[in-house]
Chain A
Amino acid sequence: MATACNEEQIRVIISSTKDEIVQRLNDTISPDVFREAEIIQNKHDILARDELARPFTI
């Protein structure tokens, strides 16, 4: 159940686990990100042949 918090409450909640959050943000980005980006780019390239072939005319 979500509780409405004010800014100060959030600060207190986060301060207890701040190191953990900063560590998460500082973590090395997983190689999965680049693999997924490559798959996305490949799909782009395939789709581009059809989708980008339309002239924008109006």
Chain B
Amino acid sequence: MVDPAETQLVYPFSDTPRFLGDSRISEYICLYLAAEEAKTIVVERDYIDKDYMIDFSKFYSRSFNINNKRTTRIHFFDHTFSEDEFKNTLLTGAQDKVEQLYNHYLGFSVVKPIKDQNQKDLIGRTLLKTYKPEKGDFRRKYLKSNHEVSLFGIKLNVDSLPYQTQDSAVGGCATIACWTVLQHLAHKFELEKASLFEVTEKSVHIPTIGRNFPSHGLKMDQIKAFFDFTELETEFILPSIMADIENYDPAKDCFIEDAVKAYLELGAPILVGIALQIKDDKKPVVRHLAEILHFKKVEIKYDYHAVVVTGYKSLNKKIVELYLHDDGIGPFCKTYPVNNRFYQWINEWVTREGYEAIHVHTLLIPLYPKIRLPFKEIYIEFLKQKRYFEAYNRHKGIDPKLYCAELLLMDVRQYKQFLLIKSFQNKTEILLKPFPRFLWVMRHNYCEKPFFDCVLDATDVYANKAFQVIDYLS
């Protein structure tokens, strides 16, 4: 808890729990930053956080017992400095010291002056530096953008994606997930941002019989309604349907992994509805007996939760871990597949909270409306091409492990920058050719290097033909 009478600014990192509190999320943030070798924190008291200020004005200001509209912001650094050194930097503006702070900045966390139902401090907008993009043979990809920060006039910078914990008065998990998605897309497509209260307020235009505030969660059509307000298009992918695609082979393909790779390439976050399977403590014999006595199967029960996929770790182009912004766990939380397939997940909901399993229920991808060609259509053609190459490999005796197909959604700038440093047939002619703003790229790799790209115009309504085929040279 922050003592308003305290005036000290600089503390060792080990003092962080004093300010962030002892919630599970605070513990997670401390562990995350410990892995980044955080050494020192600076406490910015009376910080005006726009998101909380809006929620305060629209909701909390009319509560009898909440009268503080200011927050506390904690800044994290991976080098050691003292209170005197920091105050001296403020006094002199010494450029070398300012640069040192800039180079060692790890991000910040806002602590709201309100508590959750367990009397734990609520963590507001949090931006934490992501881990290094490479670790041995592993590659990490994150959704992030550049955020400038001013600490008493000192210019700082962090590349990240905003996170905050659930504030169930103004919004449940789905509201937080919408907020996270919008934070990123607003940055990318110059859209208007919304606070938690505003997200819920817009979503509940699709009414339910429950109260709007305090919020008790949102349904997928309410989430869609929110994105309609922000003028974003939404694409839904339902696992139970995708597995029915004719060429889909659940042993070789994973549409969840393919969709994550495709959309994150463009920087489009994926909102995922997950079903948390509640553990049945009954012994199998007791369950069986109950089924016989009641003449029906004992129903499996689920809790439903919403998260955002914000990155992944890959090895040889295969995703081995997902990173999620989960308001119940923390930012960029690691999530593992069950049996190497991401149809079911393992993370703290299973290992800590005691759920039996995590099932992927729905994928919802808010998109810039100009991206018209849907994933479902492209995916059918992608699988056909993949099967064609697999047959080719069998025919030619090529080890199937050396081949890898990728489906990527890219914008023209990104794609031409990629092509510029590659060698391929008719390079100049292709680079000079005007391309549509958004592209679906079906890439066929051997030995982790691209051999062929089949490029489709993602702004088209019907893609009847490849827009361009890229034939890479050695």
Bound form: Cα–Cα A47–B243 in Å: 14
Bound form: Cα–Cα A56–B306 in Å: 6
> Number of A residues whose C-beta is below 8 Å from B?
41
Name the residue in A22, A27, A51, A58 with the highest tally of chain B Cβ atoms < 10 Å from its Cβ.
A58
At the interface, yes or no: B92 with Cβ under 8 Å from chain A?
no
Q: Are A37 and B374 touching (Cβ within 8 A)?
A: yes
Chain A nearest CB from B204 CB (Å) reads 11
At the interface, yes or no: B244 with Cβ under 8 Å from chain A?
yes
Q: Are B238 and A25 touching (Cβ within 8 A)?
A: no
Q: Is the interface of A mostly helix, strand, loop or mixed?
A: helix
- Taking CB atoms, residues of chain B closer than 8 Å to A34 are 377, 462
Q: C-beta contact mask, B168-186 vs A, less than 8 Å → 1, else 0?
A: 0000111001000000000
Q: Are B452 and A52 touching (Cβ within 8 A)?
A: no
- Taking CB atoms, residues of chain B closer than 8 Å to A25 are 385, 442, 452, 454, 466, 469
Q: Are A56 and B398 touching (Cβ within 8 A)?
A: no
Query: When A and B form their complex, what is the total count of cross-chain residue pairs whose Cβ atoms lie within 8 Å?
Result: 146
At the interface, yes or no: B396 with Cβ under 8 Å from chain A?
yes
Bound form: Cα–Cα A18–B349 in Å: 49
Q: Is the interface of B mostly helix, strand, loop or mixed?
A: mixed
Q: Are A56 and B173 touching (Cβ within 8 A)?
A: yes
Binds A, one of B80-88, B218-226, B408-416: B218-226
- Taking CB atoms, residues of chain B closer than 8 Å to A27 are 465-466
Chain B nearest CB from A11 CB (Å) reads 6
Q: Are A44 and B397 touching (Cβ within 8 A)?
A: no
Question: Of B219, B376, B399, which contacts A2 at CB under 8 A?
Answer: B399
Chain A nearest CB from B137 CB (Å) reads 17
> 8 closest Cβ contacts across the A-B interface?
A57-B217, A52-B220, A58-B305, A56-B306, A55-B217, A37-B377, A25-B454, A7-B447
